[in-house]
Amino acid sequence: MNKKKLVLQGFLFFLASLTIFLCSIFVLNNITLNEANNNLNNYYQITSKLYNDNENYNEIVNIFNDNKDIHVTILNNDLKVVYDNFLNTTISEKESLNIKSHINKDTYCEVNLKNNEEYLYLVKNKNINNSIIRVGIKKSYVFQYNLLISILGLVILVALNIGFILYIYFKANKNIKIINNEINSLNKFLGNNENINNLSIVDTLKETNLLIEEKIKEVNSEKEKYEYILNNISEGFIAINSNFEIKVINNSALKMFKKEVKSVLNKHISYLFDTSLLLKKISGLKDKIVYEEEINDSYYQFEINKINFNENNIYSILIIDLSEEKNSNQMKKQFFLNASHELKSPLTSIIGYSELISEGLVRDEEIIQISKKTLKEARRMKNIVLDMLELSKLESNESKLQENINLKEIIDSSIELLEYQINKKEINIIKDVSDYNIYANKEDINKLVSNILSNAVNYNVQKGNIWVTLKNNKLTIKDSGIGISKEDLPRIFERFYRVDQGRSKENSGTGLGLAIVKHICLNYGYQISVDSKLNSGTTFKIIFKK
């Protein structure tokens, strides 16, 4: 054993035992002192009851005169000695001062001049005849056993420390002998007959310790690499034993099922999700299986591999979240359905009007009006196709020319393009716009601002208001229009979704404007929010990246 460690253990044991010893002596002295105080009070009570105005001291003399460990003094109001069991007729000036300062208070120590012994005194005033009673106990008598106990405790303390040091020493020697025997046995096995001394044992142990530390570092390094790789793959990964207890789980799996690693390790996998199908698939599994399952409105693909490890079965489970892919496919399907429906209406109108003209079923004076309707539907169909193409470009996030753009100029230009509709509905525009530059594609920002302003105009009331505010990087467009219901609000950025079907068609809307707005904000990292209530107007807020 290391000598420094041995000395340190011995010192700590000595320090602990000494602390316990000193605390014990302190407690013992306090107990003894309290007992002495109780005895002094008892002696005072006895003396007080026996003493009377007729100076009858016979009973007091019988009790205290032969006991030199107890000192009893009765004094009058002028501190003249009336009775003293040590036959003192007077008291010194120092005694008088102590009596005056401690009367009816705590005890005090004082040397008795009669026998040069230190006494513990208690002084009280007897109210009946204004006399003063002082009772004392010899201090050596009070603490006579404490000294013996202290000496005995000190002897025990020393014996315990010597015993502890010997125990550590012999235990260390025993361990060294065991190691020595093992090394010698190893040497014999290797054909080396030289005995190993203690110095070589220490060197061997140091080398072994260094080797172990290096191996631990290697293991920790490999563990860190494994954890880093495992926690940085997007797929969920779980390893369970034959009792279906979770032994390994990565961050992706924890996020999928909204759990923390401490709460799931060594717990049954059913703690994560309903595993009835998974356990059924594992039952009788020989090698590998892949299947899909819907859990909590999300779709997952499970790949389970069976691994034989030290005659125990370990199951590795790779989990791929298919929810986004499924939703994307569903959205694409819905998009094509909606696109077909939106294009069908104007296309039907155009074909219908064309057939009427070609079959001569339309009078000459009606041809101009029908041509205008056909042109309107053709333009509507063109706008739908153009918006669909624009949305497709935004979703693919293809690179575009970017430049410094003044947002104030974009806002003014968008309002100017909508001037006809604004004047027709007698809408009042209230602007509080300051210059602010951003770096982006000018066409994208034009579409972003114009689509929101166009909605603010089209869905506004007659003689309504639109407030446009641009402060630093925050753009707010608020209208006094028909507003959006609580049910419709979460869906306004969906493709072809219309809050008011009749009003949208009347204004030739494609149903893709806000979807385009959302994708522009996503591509540039802008924050967009909408606040609206039915019949209370709508507010769009956009925060541009600085």
- CATH number for the domain spanning 310: value is 3.30.450.20
125/58 same-domain check: yes
Same domain, 377 and 262: no
* Residue 81 placed within a domain: yes
Question: Is residue 530 a part of any domain in this protein?
Answer: yes
Verify that 391 and 356 share a domain, yes or no.
Answer: yes
* 158 falls within a domain: no
Check whether residue 513 and residue 441 sit in a common domain: yes
CB 445 within 8 A of CB 405: yes
Boundary (domain end) residue, out of 281, 304, 321: 321
Q: What is the CATH number of the domain that holds 530?
A: 3.30.565.10
Which residues have a Cβ under 8 Å from the Cβ of 1 and sit 6 or more positions away?
168, 171, 172, 175, 176
Q: Are 27 and 129 in a shared domain?
A: yes
* Closest C-alpha to 317, from 348, 343, 339, 295: 295
**151 lies in some domain:** no
Mean pLDDT, the chain cut into blocks of 10 residues (546 residues total)? 68 83 85 86 84 65 77 86 84 87 88 84 79 87 78 81 78 72 58 53 64 75 75 83 87 85 83 84 83 84 82 83 70 57 63 66 66 70 69 70 90 90 92 91 90 90 93 92 87 71 51 83 90 90 88
Last residue of a domain, one of 274, 292, 321: 321
pTM above 0.95, yes or no: no
Question: CA-to-CA distance for 360 and 351, rounded, in angstroms?
Answer: 14
Domain assignment present for residue 200? The answer is no
Cβ neighbours of residue 403 closer than 8 Å, sequence gap 6 or more: 439, 440, 441, 442
Same domain (yes/no): 502, 463: yes
Helix (H, G, I), strand (E, B) or coil at 57: coil
309 is a domain residue = yes
Q: Is residue 108 part of a domain?
A: yes
The pLDDT, as a whole number, for residue 361 is: 64
- The crossing angle, in degrees rounded to 10, of helices 407-417 and 442-458 is 50
The pairing of beta strand 428-433 with beta strand 465-471: parallel
Q: Is 342 helix (H, G, I), strand (E, B) or coil?
A: helix
With contact defined as beta carbons under 8 Å apart, do 237 and 319 qualify?
A: yes
Residue 413 and residue 287 in one domain: no
CA distance 236 to 250: 6
Task: State the DSSP H helix or E strand holding residue 281, giving kind and residue range, or none if neither.
Answer: helix 276-282
| Residue 214, C-beta contacts closer than 8 angstroms, at least 6 positions apart | none
Q: Do 348 and 310 share a domain, yes or no?
A: no
* Backbone angles phi and psi of 56, in degrees to 5: -95, 100
Residues 331 and 317 in one domain: no
In a domain, 261, yes or no: yes
Considering the domain architecture, whether residues 53 and 136 belong to the same structural domain is answered as yes
Show which of 121, 146, 171 is a domain's final residue: 146
Q: What would the DSSP string read from start to end of 67-127? A: -TTEEEEEE-TT--EEEETT------HHHHHHHHHHTTS--EEEEETTTTEEEEEEEEEET
Q: Are residues 309 and 331 in the same domain?
A: no
Contacts of 200-204 with C-beta under 8 Å, sequence gap 24+, read 201/176
Question: Hey, what are 327's tokens?
Answer: 């939703």
Domain that holds residue 524: 403-543
> Which residue has tokens 């320090």?
15
CA 488 to centroid of chain Cα atoms? 37
Chain Cα centroid distance, residue 299: 30
Count Cα atoms within 13 angstroms, Cβ side, for 393.
Answer: 13
Q: How many domains does one find in the chain? A: 4
Please tell me whether residues 134 and 72 are part of one structural domain: yes
For residue 511, how many other CB atoms are within 10 A of its CB? 19
CATH of the domain at 362: 1.10.287.130
Phi-psi region of 132 (alpha: psi -120 to 50; beta: other; left: phi over 0): beta
